[in-house]
Chains A and B, each alone.
Chain A
Amino acid sequence: MGVTWDPLFLSLRVATMATCLTLVVGTGLALLLTWRKLPASNLVDALVSAPLVLPPTVLGYYLLVALGTESAVGRAWERLTGTTIVFTFTGAVVAAAVGSLPLVVRSIRVGLESIDHNLISAARTLGASPVRVLFTVVLPLAAPGIIAGAMLGFARALGDYGITQMVAGSRIDGVPTASIYVMDAMVANREHDARMMAIATTIVGVVLLYLANRLTRRLHPHRG
């Protein structure tokens, strides 16, 4: 049996959806952590960063408990959509999103912190409401950080193994993700298939990281 690219396409779909999710949640969290005096900002920061240091199985366990069919969120989702979160495509998206969230938040925070605060004050004195300031000044100026974060998050989501395995299982509609495919191929002594998938995943990941690095370096010319 030759290498099949369905797992790579599945991983690309999961990573795309996960990136969209982390961008929305990550931008909100980054704004709160950078500019709002939260009562427990250090704790929130630690919780957001936890996926960087916690074992994937532990994270997967928490997600199973929080989103499983016995949980309030899981039951509400099931009533709303007729399907479960866990052991579905949605579960794989959530798993990949949680894994990549800290990278996305950190990158967006770098983007936000590079903005001269006088520009925000200037926008306000020019009559812009807080929402208009956000969309016309803050987000455009933080764009390199946001795009870099999206790329890092995408690359991280593309390669997720442990959290996805726990939350979505080893197959989604009969197809494994790229990382799970590599493991399965190795176990089944199909080293060529494993190598091809590993190389393809690596190329996508490295290209994205290269682009993210270039964008991060572009943050500085916006200053002043």
Chain B
Amino acid sequence: MADLLATIQLVRSSDWALDVELRCPNGITCIMGPSGSGKSTILGVLSGLTVPDAGRVAVGDHVWLDREKGIDVPVHQRRLAYVFQGLALFPHMSALHNVTYGMHHVPREERAPRALGLLHKLGVGHLATRRPRTFSGGEAQRVALARALARSPEVVLLDEPFSALDRDLRAQMIGLVREVVANLGVPVVQVTHSVGEARKLADQVVRIEKGKIVARGAPAEVLEGLTSVEE
């Protein structure tokens, strides 16, 4: 699978501008930084939901964005999986329908069995016919992950997906994500402000502050000396 390469420049105000260059190989890249540093904006640009002033986003040979050349592949045509901070499960659809929603690439008759298989794999097969408002926090996380993975994505984007979970559940989900991502073999970009989460999950850590990268590398190097609130 191909690396994700991105250069992003976006000026929000006279004293805040995002200016980053990312190279995300297969595995998990954790983007860390304080609130307002531009972490989620990076995911917005990678997904196409936010258009930068200048920049380029490419997955291998697939160029999703090149402002200079006027290329901007619409969000719905980018093969990506995005797990939002609030999960954004469709409240009017069952878990199964949530998962099949993004499976256009799969023949119609195969969608439901495949989606059900994914839900079972993530331990929430019993929720298939139920709607999200009846799910616990951990169950909703697993359904959201199943929905994202059902896309067979080229890139996975995770926006603080574990922030609302308690410590035990978070540890459980981190283990699950590591296992699932290893099988996928694609770049995963996860935004987090948790040092502990980055230490357990990341293959690469990128620290940003006020829209600029201040450190990048292996977790042991970048996170040295930093302590996590939840540790």
Contact = CB atoms under 8 A, between A and B. Distances in A.
Chain A binding surface SS class = helix
Interface string A121-150: 111111111100000110011000000000
B91 A222 contact: yes
A122 B75 contact: no
Given A116-B88, A137-B90, A222-B91, A124 B49 contact: yes
Interface of A: 116, 118-119, 121-130, 136-137, 140-141, 221-224
Interface string B81-102: 1101110111110000000011
A126 B102 contact: yes
B133 interface: yes
A33 B170 CA distance: 41
Interface in B140-176: 147, 151, 157
Nearest to B79: A127
Chain B binding surface SS class = loop
Contacts of B48: 124
A119 B82 CA distance: 12
Size bracket, chain B contacts: 20 to 34
Contacts of B151: 126-127
Contact of A118 (B78, B84, B101, B157): B84
A122 B90 contact: yes
B88 A122 contact: yes
Contact of B101 (A116, A121, A126, A141): A126
A126 B81 CA distance: 7
A118 B89 CA distance: 9
Nearest to A122: B88
Contacts of B192: none
A216 B127 CA distance: 29
Contacts of A126: 76, 101-102, 147, 151
A127 B104 contact: yes
Contacts of B47: 121, 125
Given A118-B84, A223-B91, 14 more contacts: A118-B88, A119-B91, A121-B47, A121-B82, A124-B48, A125-B47, A125-B82, A126-B101, A126-B147, A127-B151, A128-B76, A222-B91, A222-B92, A224-B91
A219 to B, nearest CB: 12
Contacts of B85: 118
Contacts of A222: 91-92
Nearest to A140: B92
A118 B86 contact: yes
B101 A224 contact: no
B80 interface: yes
Contact of A141 (B86, B92, B102, B104): B92
